[in-house]
A and B are shown apart, each in its own frame.
Chain A
């Protein structure tokens, strides 16, 4: 099953709706609760990163009986130093983002921890692509 969502940068009211829909789908499919939590926590962090740091993006979720594959492609400022961005505690979040409860610098490390396979690729000035694979079985 394939799902796709358009994400608007700065829209904190809608942030999480894509993750919420993926969660509902996985629940309907009877996927194990601990696996669902890993998928939606990783996806939600990545979704919020588009809202917090990019201009807009597209999320696609491919769900098969064996695995969930998530791809998040955004247009935005990109990340110049990915290693630095992956360091727990590193954040460039604005005051506005911090008021929404984000900006701990924990998102990317936590996505990485929850994923079985994690890929991040970024072109400064253009955008960022994040890919997450989580095995169901």
Chain B
């Protein structure tokens, strides 16, 4: 699924990072527990989280992830956006809850990691 499709389905917006027309991701992992995210071996997934602090970006950095979606319309602190930019991570904000955003994207064909 392209990132633009994903953003539009969840009525989200891109807070930082460059997204091309063809940029896509096929998998998603949703969690607020960073150590849970860090157990995933693959790197080609969207991280969906409610954790609006710098450690969610650090986790994405260590996991080699490119896309992070923040749910519930949280406004990330400025240092979090800066760290995402520094690491070339695309940060997306979405107004829906984790449950609703997951449901919409799953139905549209985004796959779970496990």
Q: A residues within 8 Å of B by Cβ?
A: 12-13, 15-16, 19-20, 23, 33, 36-37, 40-41, 44-45, 48, 100-107, 110, 113
- Secondary structure call for the A interface: helix
A38 to chain B minimum Cβ distance, whole angstroms, is 9
Residue ID in chain B nearest A93 by CB atoms:
B35
Q: Contacting chain A: which of B4-12, B48-56, B68-76, B94-102?
A: B48-56
Q: Is the CB of B34 within 8 A of A41?
A: no
- Secondary structure call for the B interface: helix
Interface size class of B (residues with CB under 8 A): 20 to 34
B107 to chain A minimum Cβ distance, whole angstroms, is 27
A56 to chain B minimum Cβ distance, whole angstroms, is 19
Q: Is the CB of B61 within 8 A of A104?
A: no
- CB-CB under 8 A for A15 and B35, given A40-B62, A41-B62, A44-B62: no
Q: Is the CB of A106 within 8 A of B39?
A: yes
Q: Is the CB of B35 within 8 A of A13?
A: no
Q: Is the CB of A101 within 8 A of B38?
A: no
Contact partner of A110 (CB less than 8 A), chosen from B39, B53, B54, B55, is B39
